Amino acid sequence: MTGVSTESLKKVEEVLHTNVDQNPTQLAEELFAVVDLVDRDGSLRRALIDSSREPAARAGIVKALFTGKVSESTFNVVSAAAEQRWSEERDFADALENVAVVAAAAGAEARGGADALEAVVNELLTFINIVDSSAEAQAALSDGRASNEAKQKLAVSLGGVNPTAEGKLLLERAGAHSRGTTASRLAQKFVEIIVKRQNRWIARVTAARPLSDAQILKLQNSLNRVYNRNLKLDITIDPSVIGGLRVQVGDEVVDGTVSNRLSDLDRAVA
């Protein structure tokens, strides 16, 4: 999402923030339902982003469709989205998906503060790590013959036992409504939206063996100083790296693993 759509998303987020306190989880569920409707109905999607219509006219379509069918908070957010301009046809639904995730995050915070929000992120990261390492899980989640219900159940089970209400909602979305991407990548998008809300980045750390609590704390403090942010560590154990650490923050990768140094040596010798 770029250009005009980026600015429009900011305006929709502002409306969300003034409407999220009533029932954030319900708001998230309803916004996801609107995303599904817009994705299914091309005529509706095009009408809602038609720049030849006045913003009030586009909002009028929302009023005609959703009055009495969704909460006032959802109506306000969707109306605000309809009044904006969008660069690409799918940006409208993408924006609603984005703010739905923010609403789910707000629900977790309202329920249990930062710890609850952290639990949601951890459930999503667990799901991502398992799916990325399992061809069987990837095949099951992308199987066009499987029902949405079956995919939702699988996705929730891969996020860990006793999921939070918000984690369950987001895992079900990732499992059954990937919207042209993979379940893992959609879950990653959800994580990034939530982490942005926390004003944090994720540091993906790959190590050959489990780190001690003291090592994790030292690594956390060092990375926080380097990036001047409170990073969330997502640690994966991979014996094939032999030793050392590989750290990725955004697009920046620092690979200090033994396997990487051996590969460099092989290339140098060759």
**DSSP calls for 98-131:** HHHHHHHHHHHHHHHHHHHHHHHHHHHHHHHHHH
Handedness of CA 174, 180, 184, 188 (dihedral sign): negative
Are 174 and 126 contacting, i.e. CB atoms less than 8 angstroms apart?
no
Maximum Cα interatomic distance, the chain, rounded to a whole number of Å: 72
Intervals of the chain under pLDDT 70: 1, 198-200, 262, 264-270
Distances (CA, A) of 144 to 63, 90, 119, 127, 258: 34, 22, 30, 20, 41
Residue 238 in contact with residue 227, Cβ under 8 Å?
no
pLDDT at 222: 92
